[in-house]
Structure 1
């Protein structure tokens, strides 16, 4: 995790982004709009239509108000038809002004209805869009290579993309709102130009300083957010460790609560200080720019008042022009600030869409060959070497061995010897850096990864404990057969998980884990039997068990492997284990050291060799004496 002492926030950039760079960042807006349209064409069209109608409402209300004021001034200059309103009404003097008032009332009421309808449409569209982006994010992540998930840099990019998937929905309303405001500006500016064209020249004085400030601080906010991604991931990790069922026992027993809280507070405070610094600077400069804007407005307002005093404008013109200038000033600022904010948010959109541009490197060939089923001859590693991406260390090198069809092969070696890497290569989660792996003479790279995975059953020591029902926990082993109850029960019987499930109150319908209400947790060994059932559920041509019985006691382990040997007579299998009671059941054993094969043979042959395997076996056996 990250150590903070001495780490300072990045400075305000001396060189702002160029206009071309901002345009490049805003290219993602087109992708966003296309994504919105895909989400719901009808809702998108409704939002646009409602805003189009609303765009003409301000000019209509202002002009109606001008007509009302002018009519009131006209009426005040006429002799009164009588002392009461009824006299004015009977004389017909109030007909015109009443008509204008009703028109203004209708415009105001219609505007309220339109705004509420727009808000409703946008909220529904926003939620649908959030779901769409999340689904697309999950779908793309599922296509990527294992190496991406094992990279800290990728995890940072994924975290930023997740945040943007959930945090950019306000941009939908902002984009459509910008278009609405621009139409309104055109209508208001047309009226202003007719009466006093030079007043438009005052508008830049009111909004240019604010635009500069917003652009500057949007860029800085993005820099801080991006720079702090590792720390934010660490905050989420600390939240999880400090308050989850999985870690509760150890946190309590080791008394880690205060330590985790202290570490969280220190990390969160560092992020808070950065954000506070930017917020204070933004508020200070914003106050100055707001004062400049107000000064520009009152200069224009004073001019309009003077023209009204001299008789060049009517009182209705005064109300219309002052209202138009005030709205134009606000709208110009809102539009241009909106553009800078959209440009700033487009930086965040780059985090989202650049994630979609990550391409997997383990790809199916143009004309993939079918996985040979059943396996007839076996699997061959030919001079296989592998380096993890962006490293120079060879995890395995010059690896040559054959796994015959129907053979059970055990891999033995200390941690870091390359056992799990061999599994990753064999399942084509990675491709070899050099050499090749073949199944019945067909190179794995000539097969589709999806096809390979469908014919291989793998259970890792760190298997997932799904917070699903017992049925679904087993059914995920062959997801297309998850509703086949007979197959699920057979897999459970083969892995000895049927005894575990029989004790559950709702048996196969029982929710497992403590994450959800009425969930029932299992012991480590019970979870492991359920996980092993997934491998049987798969009915695979090749079964790989990576430390499959680590949580089982010796008796349960013996039962599981005796069952496995009986049921897997014609199944090709690879077993990784540190327990020699498990390893000795294999037909052949490979002893690995530093990515190379040190010894190979059956249990009896390796003991007779009196080499490394015999040494390790004796050390473990001595622990039971």
Structure 2
């Protein structure tokens, strides 16, 4: 990452490095809509010559008026060319009207292009984020990259307009500079000397501004979270019951005040120095103006030339100042742009190998874990280690263990959300990494305990696990029947078309058990050969749990199933139970075998059973 990681402004080398992201941005803009881009460039190019044309015509008008006044003063000796004066006025009027029309048309096209670009870059951001590994989402540094990139999808639209206006200003400046170079070459040197301090100052403070925002990324994420927590329907109950409002507001206020004070100090210093630099530039302009007036009095220039040169110098000064300031802003925004492209440079580690094979249908010999070990990124502790067991087609296994035993990690490895650090996982005798990732995920249906509650209609909430079948209502209803979610739909006013959640108008919030039935429907929506259910009955009432127990054979018919549960009434549905402790497999067998054998399983079962005595 460029500059600011340590809170210090970037070096000039880093500043130049930041500009390397401008060409990729321009390519993205051009690819967004070629027609709009070409039209905007053409309009900007034409508009860039309007200031010079207006100044030159103004010079001719003033010289013509002075000549006419002299004719009148000489008692009418000579002829006043009224047609020429009228023509010049009409020409200036036409240029002014045309320039305004071109500016409005250009602004319209730039607005449309900006909206399109924002949409396209947001889509690309979502697509790239979806391709990243789960481990990358769980890594704070990568998530900071994502957060900064997300903020840039809208904020960098202004950079496009800035680049276009800078290009237009450069063309205008070149045309004015050419005239000044012919008339008074030394004025150009004076111009540069007058505006250079302002450019250097703005560049310096732009670097400090980026450094401040960069170093505050984690705190700004926390501010966003506190703002959400303090005004969220999901957290409203606990906020009220625990009287958390003052705590959340106080913490937000303290942190936001700290950021405000840091930002204010920088803004005040930047404003003071900007005022000083602008004063230097103004002094340079009036020094040049005085020289031009002096030369006009000596007869070197006409009054029209005086206004033309003074106007050209003033506009050139303003343009140079604006161009240098724009270049400073381009560099500043390029630093932010680097956040976006740095995120796009992050590549997933869990990918399909070249020539990857599809998952066999049907699975013949099943899965085999061979001395598998895995540590989460940045952790020294093994989440699981020395896992060795087989999982056969048609078999239903349950994973049992205390919290942190590695149950969820095991199924994440099975679904290849992670790759093992040690050992390997085989499917039909072939390393899991040799299979096409999309094919593997298509053949595995997973419902985790912390499943997502989408603010969609009910049929979409079930169908999201098989988006290509979202329009297949018969399949959705069958999945709902198998997961008992059909009873939920029957009680809703609009049935499967009912909006769920309270985020949108007309939405209905379900109970925890009802949401779990909807989530189970997602698992049965897929033609998956492997079904993974993490606490599938945790939120169900006793009757619903009993119904699931009775229908479990039907629900898992022809599939391999993995159950994770702390409820032994659910665990007993499995053909085989794997007992995990400290990330290692310490025992396995049927419920009866494990109870008879004693050990951790029997102990946990006894503790739970005691609660019902």
For Structure 1 versus Structure 2, the TM-score category normalised by the shorter chain is: over 0.9
Whether 1:69 aligns to 2:57 is no
CA distance in 1 between counterparts of 2:224 and 2:312 reads: 49
Deviations 1:159-210 (A, max 9, x none): 0001111111000011111111111011101111121111111112221110
CA distance in 2 between counterparts of 1:26 and 1:16 reads: 13
Whether 1:223 aligns to 2:211 is yes
Query: Which residue among 392, 395, 399 is the counterpart of 1:404?
Result: 392
Partner of 1:393: 381
> Does the Cα contact within 8 Å between 2:500 and 2:507 map onto a contact in 1?
yes
> Does the Cα contact within 8 Å between 2:7 and 2:215 map onto a contact in 1?
no
> Does the Cα contact within 8 Å between 1:55 and 1:181 map onto a contact in 2?
yes
CA distance in 2 between counterparts of 1:377 and 1:264 reads: 56
Note the C-alpha offset of 1:12.
Answer: 7.2
CA distance in 1 between counterparts of 2:226 and 2:89 reads: 61
Q: What's the TM-score once normalised by structure 2's chain length?
A: 0.97
Whether 1:79 aligns to 2:72 is yes
> Does the Cα contact within 8 Å between 2:374 and 2:384 map onto a contact in 1?
yes
Query: Which residue among 27, 33, 36 is the counterpart of 1:40?
Result: 33
Query: Which residue among 109, 114, 124 is the counterpart of 2:102?
Result: 114
Query: Which residue among 14, 21, 43 is the counterpart of 1:50?
Result: 43
Note the C-alpha offset of 1:21.
Answer: 2.5
Note the C-alpha offset of 1:340.
Answer: 1.4
RMSD after superposition: 1.6
Q: Secondary structure at the match of 2:71?
A: coil
CA distance in 1 between counterparts of 2:554 and 2:50 reads: 80
Whether 1:26 aligns to 2:29 is no
CA distance in 1 between counterparts of 2:61 and 2:560 reads: 90
The within-5 A match list for 1:293-312 is 293-312=281-300
Note the C-alpha offset of 1:124.
Answer: 1.0
Q: Secondary structure at the match of 1:414?
A: coil
Structure 2: gaps of 5 or more residues:
none
Deviations 1:311-336 (A, max 9, x none): 11100001000000000001011111
Note the C-alpha offset of 1:389.
Answer: 1.8
> Does the Cα contact within 8 Å between 2:579 and 2:586 map onto a contact in 1?
yes
Note the C-alpha offset of 1:461.
Answer: 0.7
Whether 1:343 aligns to 2:331 is yes
CA distance in 2 between counterparts of 1:237 and 1:605 reads: 48
CA distance in 2 between counterparts of 1:34 and 1:10 reads: 28
> Does the Cα contact within 8 Å between 1:202 and 1:296 map onto a contact in 2?
yes
Query: Which residue among 558, 576, 581 is the counterpart of 2:546?
Result: 558
> Does the Cα contact within 8 Å between 2:6 and 2:215 map onto a contact in 1?
no
Partner of 2:253: 265
> Residues 571 and 269 (structure 1 numbering): CA distance in 2 closer, same or farther, change over 3 Å?
same
Note the C-alpha offset of 1:94.
Answer: 1.7
Q: What's the TM-score once normalised by structure 1's chain length?
A: 0.95
> Does the Cα contact within 8 Å between 1:26 and 1:343 map onto a contact in 2?
yes
The within-5 A match list for 1:541-556 is 541-556=529-544
Partner of 1:482: 470
Deviations 1:55-89 (A, max 9, x none): 00000000000001000110010037999xxxx9x
Q: Secondary structure at the match of 2:233?
A: coil
> Does the Cα contact within 8 Å between 2:68 and 2:80 map onto a contact in 1?
no
> Does the Cα contact within 8 Å between 2:139 and 2:377 map onto a contact in 1?
no
> Residues 81 and 510 (structure 1 numbering): CA distance in 2 closer, same or farther, change over 3 Å?
farther
Deviations 1:132-173 (A, max 9, x none): 110000111111111111111111110000111111100001
> Residues 80 and 208 (structure 1 numbering): CA distance in 2 closer, same or farther, change over 3 Å?
closer
CA distance in 1 between counterparts of 2:72 and 2:581 reads: 111
Runs of 4+ displaced beyond 4 Å: 9-12, 80-83
Partner of 1:496: 484
CA distance in 2 between counterparts of 1:474 and 1:448 reads: 25
> Residues 12 and 554 (structure 1 numbering): CA distance in 2 closer, same or farther, change over 3 Å?
closer
The within-5 A match list for 1:81-480 is 93-480=81-468
The within-5 A match list for 1:512-531 is 512-531=500-519
Note the C-alpha offset of 1:539.
Answer: 2.5
CA distance in 1 between counterparts of 2:489 and 2:557 reads: 26
> Does the Cα contact within 8 Å between 1:10 and 1:224 map onto a contact in 2?
no
Note the C-alpha offset of 1:10.
Answer: 9.0
Q: Secondary structure at the match of 1:117?
A: helix
Partner of 2:576: 588
Note the C-alpha offset of 1:391.
Answer: 2.4
> Does the Cα contact within 8 Å between 2:448 and 2:535 map onto a contact in 1?
yes
Q: Secondary structure at the match of 2:580?
A: strand
> Does the Cα contact within 8 Å between 1:383 and 1:400 map onto a contact in 2?
yes
> Does the Cα contact within 8 Å between 2:368 and 2:390 map onto a contact in 1?
yes
Deviations 1:413-467 (A, max 9, x none): 0111000110110000111101111111121110122111000000011101111
> Does the Cα contact within 8 Å between 1:205 and 1:292 map onto a contact in 2?
no
Note the C-alpha offset of 1:23.
Answer: 2.3
Deviations 1:519-567 (A, max 9, x none): 1111110011000001010131000001122111122112123222223
Query: Which residue among 11, 17, 37 is the counterpart of 2:11?
Result: 17
